[in-house]
Structure 1
């Protein structure tokens, strides 16, 4: 089992935002700061709660366009060469040239307009043919969206999107569980990992995929909330936070429990205890994350999540304490052992932006 993080301390950037004294969030922060101030002179510089983040060179997708080869200009020189030998529009060389150009631009069918243009000797007729060609092109462009095959999600893409949505919510670094950009971040992670059957990023087909992902995120949030609240029951099979973590992530085979995940689910369980009657529970969770981000420095943020964890699991030395992970058969793994593609999802979850509060009747 990974070493349990010590209850550390750190320096803060400012006092927490003013909140009503009865608010659990404000009361919790005030307790942390009071304890820190009283122990400041009696403690030495704490060790980092989390192991140093591995500095890996993230592979970034680059859309590269190689230097244009000199051979790309052969068409211009070939055209000039052919024009120098064509002396009549009825010359066989002209017809061969036209056929080659049609092949170059993949023009199929009779192409009667081009044939008329080739045969005409009148400047006015040639100009009119060009005007008709432009009008035709405009019609094609206007009808383009209707003619373009509509993007359809494959069953494989749906399954992959579902997995990515789950892992996004499992991230111990997520900054908003109901972020208004969560679906877009999941799609970014899928593209970063070269998931097949993705829609063309230049079009509007992402909307269909994003809508599917938002639905999956809603479903998984509901499942997580139900398990977190159920785990408060002392008779629950996953009352232990390690068992709770395993129960939540078991639907994704690639997911592995870490101590950082234990901390996050202890954080959610704290909200289940203190905001059980909140009209919008996930909004309360995201509001706390936002308040912590505004109020706490990074070391203090780590201390705070560790404190939620320590308060939840209690002492490992108490033989009657069944809540500590040491009493569970679930064993946490080191964060460095998490597959890289999952790490990319976890990292992008740090960019999740808290959604605006919903208006309720």
Structure 2
């Protein structure tokens, strides 16, 4: 078995990093040097503005630990309708595609009344939805008033919907609680960005964007990635942001981005990496990244334990659990290789005095041969 490099494993899409690192592939890469500055509007988060972004404002700390999110600024898209391809205007959804969305259609006076759509949850683009615009809350029969803000609340088919003159909030039974979303968005309490440091870092670097896709796993020391577009009259900026609990993996992010593109600018700030490209606005194409995310096969997962014995100069790997795994491939930098197929198996490598290096355990998927690094171990005898 060929010993896999970390950079090669990132390319398999087996981690959150692949979401950000791979998303810039959606851009044209025709060899032109597009290093000019975008003529987009200033980024509020980076220019000292005090208004929180929609994600900072509305996502509560009680939302899913494995969070997917998407935002589209429809007012900004309409502003650049003359520069964008006609197909983009047709492809960008103006109404939310989620349970309870018929309420938005009833309270909005046409699609132009919807200015932006924010979605977040654990199941692709489904889950919680926050829609901004101009709405007539008297257009629907409501069940009660909300305890937070000027919202009328109705329950429809397991979905709680809150409607005000400028916002519609939808919360399915398996999503974050409606009251928690309203508390975050209206009162500014219980926000995920205030309680989870790495999530706040991710949103700070993303700022205000026209189109945004992202995901975040974990709590305060989680891992996140986001892919965003900001439109200008002639040129637009595309960015990929990756956030880790520590800075150890930033070198991989920077190297991969720099090798793949001639016209990308990569900035590393501790545990945060930002890759940016500038392209003509007319070349933008709207892609549903969550649909692509969901169509990818599930990654193989496995549990192992690794024990070193300095007296015998051995390293033993025990196969503990698996999900969607055909086999485990074990290799090290001293040329040892082995495979395990069944839970309960063990593999032991023996070493000479003075040997050192890193051992890697890779899970190979049972359906697609997808590879995932499940463990690494450094040894020195």
Give the TM-score of the pair, scaled to structure 2. 0.21
Higher relative contact order (CA 8 A, sep 6+): 1
Higher helix share: 1
Higher strand share: 2
- Which of the pair has more CA radius of gyration? 1
